Structure 1
Amino acid sequence: MERSVIRLIHCQKDIFCFSVPEECPSCGEELRGSRLQEAPVSLPSPFTNGHKSSCCLLVAPAHDNQNREFDGTSDLHTGISNTKGVVFNYTQDGVRRDQSGWERCVSVPLVRPDTFHLLAQWDQYMDRFSDAPTWDPAWHRFDKDDHNCFSFCLRYVNSVLAAEGRSALTRETFTHSFILPRMKRVSKYTTVYQHIQRHQYYVVDRQEDVTTSVGQ
Structure 2
Amino acid sequence: MSAPILDRYIHALLQTLLMVSVSMAIAIVAGLIIAVVLNATAVDGLYPKPRLNKTLSIVINMFRAIPFIILLVALLPVTRFIVGTTLGTWAAIVPLSANLIPFFARIAQVSLNSVEPGLIEAARAMGCRRWHIVRHVLLPEALPSILGGMTVTAIAMIDTSAMAGAVGGGGLGDMAIRYGYERYETQVMFMVIVILIALVSIVQFAGEWLARRTDHKR
User: Normalization by structure 2: what TM-score?
Assistant: 0.31
Q: Kindly indicate which of the two structures has a greater share of residues assigned to helix.
A: 2
User: Normalization by structure 1: what TM-score?
Assistant: 0.31
